Structure 1
Amino acid sequence: MEGKAKLWRDRVILVAVVWAVWALITTFLVQPFRIPSASMENTLQIGDRIVVNKITPRFGEVKRGDVVVFKDPGDWTQPVPSGNAVFGAIRKVAEVTHLSASGSHLVKRVVGVGGDKVSCDGSGNKLKVNGVEITETYLKSGVQPCAEKFSITVPDNKVWVMGDNRSDSADSRFHDDGTGKLGSVPLSDITGKGLAVVWPISNASGGHNAEDAFAKVPAAE
């Protein structure tokens, strides 16, 4: 009996240690997320599991072209139903240890950083950043860069984000008042920068960031 008790105790300790290590890794280094919508097709598909780098938002620079995961800055998504008490408790434990994301998270591409003027003259025209037209090879085939005309300035310490599937993406444009103040996402809300798709295996890939597309954009004045 004592031998069985020791065996179970050792197993519990092992699980606790593994869980603690996982929590540390996903808190400070990398974290997995599931893609919930079609807003980033064809770069990311519904159901894809991606891993994001959490070091860059903390200590590095978020750049134009980066794919980022960020916390809902305010009513961008529907709240997750709490369900019954048991499932609610399980979900809370999973969130604390980052087996699932806490709250509501979104994934989009950064097209403008603090001070940038982001604009488009509407249907048939390219996106412009600080007056430079951007060739966005990452856009979903057949989708226009923007269907409606807009021109905004990104506030300091924020970024302007848009989905690669522009016709099916409730991104910064959808939540803005025409100035850039409401639709821009605070840098403090960014959880991580996209590293790779890790599941399903058929979609496994990396290199989704497209900083080169913005290489000719001058610094904001």
Structure 2
Amino acid sequence: MPGTSSTRRRPLLVAAAACVVLLLVVAFGVRQFVAAPFRVPSGSMEPTLRSGDVILADRTGSAAVHRGELVVFDGSGYFPKDGAISRYWVKRVVAVGGDSIRCCDDGGHLVLNGERLEEPYLAPGTDTSTVRFDLEVPEGRMFVLGDNRADSTDSRFLLGSPGGGMIPTDRVIGEASRIVWPLGRAGRLDR
């Protein structure tokens, strides 16, 4: 019976195709609603993140953005396109809506809401900022900086741009929760 063999294969092919479609739907759902991988394109977040690190942006957290978080956000229309590797950026949230932030006090430190901001994530000897500013962050926005202040395009350099260098919080894709590659650096990211 020559037709029996092909008849048996058809349900197997249908089952395999259904499994592939199901896996694709699950992968899309995880990326869209749970966690999405992003590659760090530059050294602007050193020493915390290095160029080439692959990080996961946790999309399960609350919609609120908190000071100190590392966030991946869509910088389209806010951060420059020329020379940009991606429309997605990773930076540290230094101030959120309602906060006042200025640079710098007599010791060269950022001042957040009248208090010196401790920044243990900066490499020893790092200048806090060569750009001086004194501003209040509007509600629904965030002021972001790279940890490598000498080599970071961030809110400081975009103060005269649309949005005043402050990114709408609804542009956040997720909190950078962990490094997944390279394996030697893999692990959870702390604030």
**TM-score in terms of structure 1 length:** 0.76
Q: Which amino acid aligns with 2:65?
A: V
1:170 counterpart residue number: 153
Equivalent-residue separation in structure 1 for 2:83 and 2:15 (angstroms)? 36
1:21-80, Cα deviation, whole Å (9 max, x unpaired): 111122112111111111101101111111111122xx3421110000000141524379
2:68 counterpart residue number: 65
Equivalent-residue separation in structure 1 for 2:187 and 2:146 (angstroms)? 18
Structure 1 contact 122–150 (Cα < 8 Å) conserved: no
Equivalent-residue separation in structure 1 for 2:67 and 2:182 (angstroms)? 27
Q: Which amino acid aligns with 1:126?
A: H
Q: Is the counterpart of residue 150 in structure 1 residue 153 in structure 2?
A: no
1:217 counterpart residue number: none
Equivalent-residue separation in structure 1 for 2:92 and 2:80 (angstroms)? 17
Q: Which amino acid aligns with 1:29?
A: V
For 1:133-148, what aligned pairs fall within 5 Å after superposition? 133-148=116-131
1:106 counterpart residue number: 89
For 1:120-135, what aligned pairs fall within 5 Å after superposition? 120-121=103-104, 125-135=108-118
1:78 counterpart residue number: 81
**Structure 1 residues 2 and 122, CA, compared in 2 at 3 Å: closer, same or farther?**
farther
Q: Secondary structure at the match of 1:174?
A: helix
**Structure 1 residues 199 and 11, CA, compared in 2 at 3 Å: closer, same or farther?**
same
Structure 1 contact 120–146 (Cα < 8 Å) conserved: yes
Equivalent-residue separation in structure 1 for 2:83 and 2:171 (angstroms)? 18
Equivalent-residue separation in structure 2 for 1:73 and 1:122 (angstroms)? 32
Structure 1 contact 122–146 (Cα < 8 Å) conserved: no
1:81-122, Cα deviation, whole Å (9 max, x unpaired): 9xxxxxxxxxxxxxxxxxxxxx71000000001011111138
Equivalent-residue separation in structure 1 for 2:75 and 2:106 (angstroms)? 28
1:195 counterpart residue number: 177
1:164-204, Cα deviation, whole Å (9 max, x unpaired): 001111001111129x9421110110110111001111111
> 1:6 deviation in Å?
3.9
1:14 counterpart residue number: 19
Supply the RMSD in Å over aligned alpha carbons: 2.5
1:29 counterpart residue number: 34
Structure 2 contact 76–87 (Cα < 8 Å) conserved: no
Larger Rg: 2
Equivalent-residue separation in structure 2 for 1:148 and 1:189 (angstroms)? 25
Equivalenced residues, count: 185
Q: Secondary structure at the match of 1:182?
A: helix
**TM-score in terms of structure 2 length:** 0.87
Equivalent-residue separation in structure 1 for 2:155 and 2:42 (angstroms)? 16
Q: Which amino acid aligns with 2:127?
A: Q
**Structure 1 residues 115 and 78, CA, compared in 2 at 3 Å: closer, same or farther?**
same
User: Percent identity between the aligned chains?
Assistant: 34
Q: Secondary structure at the match of 1:136?
A: coil
* Ranges in structure 1 where 5+ consecutive residues have no aligned partner: 82-102, 210-221
Q: Give the number of the structure whose residues are more often strand, by fraction.
A: 2
